[in-house]
Structure formats: structure tokens, C-alpha cells
Chain A
């Protein structure tokens, strides 16, 4: 799986590259130097809490605001100084920014009319795009007569009709209710596959990012922290922030062993210190609740370990059951999620439960 993905990454050329891009307002550094490659045809999500600088990146790509330093490349050519109206990108705004004095059809046709395309072409393309977003019957309506989801689709149609090289989406689903949001997520993902255009999507919602993206770029406090596939971000977080941002990781303190420098000691036992995490001081171990299973006594495979935890709590979650267990001398609480059938009904509070996990699922993070 991972091998196949990396092979694909090699094939895909970069459509946009950010090289050492920064942004500061007066003395405030909104964006620390960012290097980011956006590949042709991918669905890239820039994910981060509010104020993390994700919208600033989008605005700089779109040309709404110039970078303070660094370069923005479009297929190798520097476009940092190209004015907004000459960039082959289109944006879907958070508040949709539909022109209230124009009908749906006029809104969608705007980009083509501005470029003085022939009337016949405009008509055909607008009709085709409205068909794509299922709004053919609303063509002569005004935005004020549409629902939130419909406005959203008009904004999308208005962006894709210009056939941009990249579509920038600034938290487009934030204003929709949960149900509409889910159906719009599927619609967006499906649309992106059909028109094979690069999408750069901004969100603060991890689940949205994981379910929609080819790759995710995680941002925090103006720093680009980690870029990777949803699987990489989910199972291989590189910092404490990423590990905490994506659901309930177990974060356990770990100290280097006094006798062996490359061995870490944690409530789970001993771990070998990976080459990438060298350096003194203490570390954090991140391991996902579903990476544990209950040890049934069968022979351990290569790289598997076992420890024992005292059962403190059991929460039924439906398909899975969550166990809270105390492990190690410090009685550190960890959460373990197992398929409901496997948890066994014969567990009682205070029981010692043997747990099995794979060392490969343990991420050693610098303690920040």
C-alpha cells in the first residue's frame, strides 16, 4: 500500500511549490518558512486549528495577499508577483461570495464572460457545469432564493467552469449542518475524481481531512508540521501536536534507560530508540487504542510485545469496546479498543488483562 502510493507520488509532477514562503503582518509572524509541494491532480487538505496559518497559505496561492518572503512556483515558474486575476486558480470562499445581483447562471458564467469567451461556448459550458452540480433547474434563480447547500454548489460550479489548474477551497463546508456536510464531502471527493483537477482544501476538521484527502498538511501556529497520506498522519504522527489532533492517541512518557542509551523505558516496557529520534531528554510514545489486542496466549510474531494492564473501565461503543487499563509502575491509564466480540464478557474490574501490540505501531515523539 505504502509502496504503491510512493510510486504514484514519483510519477505525479508538482503543480504548485511553496519555497520558503513566510508571511508576517508588522511584527507578527503568521507563517514561518513553509515548503510544500502540491502534486498534479491530488486532493490536498491543509488542516489546522484556527489561527494556524492555513488560510494564509491559501490566500497567498490564490494571490489575494503577497508572501513576505519566499517563492510560489506554478509548474516551475515563479508566480509570486503575478496579479490575482491572471492566476489560473479559482477559489471557493467560505461564505460562497456569490454575486447577489446575478442569477445562478450569470454567477457561473462570470469568469467566462470576463475572459470574453464566445456566447455559444459560455452557454454550453455553464449548462454542462450546472448539470454536474445538479442545479440545472435553478439556473434562473438568484442566490438569495437558494439553500446553503445549493449556494455551495453554485460556488463550486463557478470555480470549475473556468477549468483552473487548481481549485482552492477555504473551509467551504464550515457553514453547513452535519448531514449536509457529509453528503457534500462525498460530492466534493467524487467531483474531484471526475474532473481530475487539483484541489487544495482548507479545514479544521480532522475527520473531514482523513475521509477526503489524498494527502494532508497539518499546520499549527504558523508551522507546517507534517505532510503525508491520511494513513501516515493517523498512524505515524511525527509530533505530539499531530498525535493529539487526530483522535485519542495514548501518549505515554518514556525515558532513556540508564544502562543502554538506545533503549527507552515506558509504562509498557522497553523499546528500542529509533534512529530518527536521537537526542537526550525524555520522549513521548504515541500508540493508537486500536493498535492493541488482547493477548490470547498464542505465539508472538516478530516485533510483537506483551504487557499486562489492570482493567479499570469498560465502555461499549458499538462495533468496538473500549477498555481503560492501568499499566506500569506509575499506573498510567491507557485506552485500548478491541472488536466487541473479542473483548470477552468474562472480564471483571481489577482483572489483569494481557495486551499484545506491535513495536511498529509505537511512535516515538520528541517531548515538546
Chain B
């Protein structure tokens, strides 16, 4: 008797019984699960499926095959481009980490409204059009660009250098500048999460400013900063437009390879296989980043 009563009480307290969902709840649930499925999962699944399809004489036959993956792993040039791109993205992420850390740290040390103004300014490029930013970089790095003009005017070189445009260095420089804001924000947040009282406590225990940085600020902000840098690496890995516009023929990257399979060679299954390889790499990197970030939180 008692249990019946308590069950009834429990039911009235939470409204209608759980199993009797109202039509509104069903609609909400459909939206919650359905929208991501249709918008994100379905396209992903479709090109995952494509990567296992056979293509003969530019026609997809519909047979399942692993040949697309075999072609990638057996081809020296695709593997070379893949690892070259990973290396490029790694360098871009490292530059974003170093420069981003220095800039974030300096902004973080500021007080009052200046710090948020500067933070806003450093994040401003994020709302600028991506293509515009690439053209801006081209006008700086190009043969007759700002950088060459500046170096010639200051007498360091006599003729315009071709070092800064249409090669891997150009891609690296352009990406590092364009993706720097993606590094600054997470690093600033990592610094901002350090409680002020920890810095007071370190000083109170006799630590000079440099010692506080090395023993408290750096170890507490580094995991978040590395996670931010990995995020930059993920974006850099998939970028095909920047390499195409400032890289020239030398600045060939994996993103461009995928694009050319879809846009020029019309070998969609092979392009899909390359995209899956990139996706797996990116997922691995994101997993690593979240692992580092979680370890930092637990501390």
C-alpha cells in the first residue's frame, strides 16, 4: 500500500508519466536528434560510403572495394603530400602557439578596458572574409609586395626575392598570420582561468614574477594553449584555398589534392578516400586536444 501511494505521489510531482510523451516533446526530440543527423552525419556518411565504391572509366560501378585506400597508401607522391601537409600544419600550429602565447600573455597582463579592446582587435580578423585575408597576405608577400619593397628600401636585398611567394614558406607564413587569432583566443582563456589568488599565493610564498610565471602560470596555461594550437593545426590541415592562392605549384597540399580529385580528375571515390584519411587525422588530433584539455582541468 505504501509503495503504491509513494509511486502515485512521485508521478504527480513530475507531471504526466514519463512513457507518455506529449506531441510537443516528440517534435523537440526529433529536432534535437534529427537536425544534426541530416545536416552533419548524412553528408559525412555519404562520402564515407563513396570512398568504398569502385570507379572504372570515370563511371562509379557500385561495387565495394578498398582499392581507393590502397591507391593512397601505395602511392609515394600522395603519402609525401600528406606528410608534407601534416608537417606544414604542425609548423603553423607551433608558430600560432608561440606568437599566440606571447600576444595573449601581454594582453592578459594588461588591466582595465585596454585588455578587452586589444583582445577584440586580435579577434577581429575572425569576422573578416577569408579570401580577403588571403589577398591581403598576397599583397604583403608577393613579388612586388610590401615585404620585398621594405627589404629593398632598407637595403637588405637588391632585387625582389621569390622566397616569400608561391612556395611552402609562403603558405606557412600566410596560414600562420591568418590562423593566429584562432590561437590567441583559447590561450587567453587558458590564462584567464588561472585564479588571481594563485598568483598572490605564489608571491606570498616568496616567488618573484619570473618564478611565478615558470612555476604557476606556464604549467597551468600550457595544456589549454596546446589544445588551442592543435585546433589551429586541424584548420590548417584541411585548408586548400590558401595553398592554392599563395602556394603556387610548389605549395601543393593535401587539401588541394582532395579538391583536385573532386574538381578536376572527377574521381570522387578516390577523393572521398583521401577526405576520410584527413578526417581520421583530424579526429585523432581533436581527441588529443580534448584529452590534454581535460587533464588540465582535473589538474
Contacts and interface: CB of A to CB of B under 8 A. Distances in A.
A356 B253 CA distance: 99
Nearest to B208: A85
A114 B220 CA distance: 17
Contacts of B207: 85, 110, 114
Interface residues of A, number: 24
Contact of B205 (A64, A100, A162): A162
A84 B198 contact: no
B206 to A, nearest CB: 5
Interface string A92-112: 010101111100000000110
A22 interface: no
A100 B220 contact: yes
A114 B205 contact: yes
B197 A111 contact: no
Contact of B299 (A84, A93, A101): A101
A114 B195 CA distance: 20
A90 B204 contact: yes
Contacts of B195: 95, 97
A85 B203 contact: yes
A101 B204 contact: no
Contacts of A158: 201, 205
Residue among B195, B197, B201 with the highest chain A CB neighbour number at 10 A: B201
B199 to A, nearest CB: 9
Given A100-B299, A101-B219, A85 B206 contact: yes
A114 B216 CA distance: 12
A144 interface: yes
Contact of B201 (A63, A89, A91): A91
B206 A115 contact: yes
Nearest to B220: A101
A349 B208 CA distance: 70
A97 B215 CA distance: 14
Nearest to A90: B204
Contacts of B205: 90, 110-111, 114, 158, 162
Given A93-B197, A97-B198, A101-B220, A84 B211 contact: no
A142 interface: yes
A64 to B, nearest CB: 6
B200 to A, nearest CB: 6
Contacts of B208: 85
Given A100-B220, A100-B299, A142-B299, A110 B215 contact: yes
A99 B205 CA distance: 12
Contacts of A90: 204-205
Interface in B201-229: 201-208, 211, 215-216, 219-220
Contact of A114 (B198, B200, B215, B299): B215
B299 A144 contact: yes
A110 B211 CA distance: 11
B49 to A, nearest CB: 45
Nearest to A170: B197
Given A114-B205, A162-B206, 16 more contacts: A63-B203, A63-B204, A84-B200, A89-B204, A90-B205, A93-B201, A97-B198, A99-B202, A101-B219, A110-B202, A110-B205, A111-B206, A114-B202, A114-B207, A144-B298, A158-B201
Interface of A: 62-64, 84-86, 89-91, 93, 95, 97-101, 110-111, 114-115, 142, 144, 158, 162
18 contacts: A63-B204, A84-B200, A84-B203, A85-B206, A85-B207, A89-B204, A95-B195, A97-B195, A97-B200, A101-B219, A101-B220, A101-B299, A110-B202, A110-B205, A111-B205, A142-B299, A144-B298, A162-B205
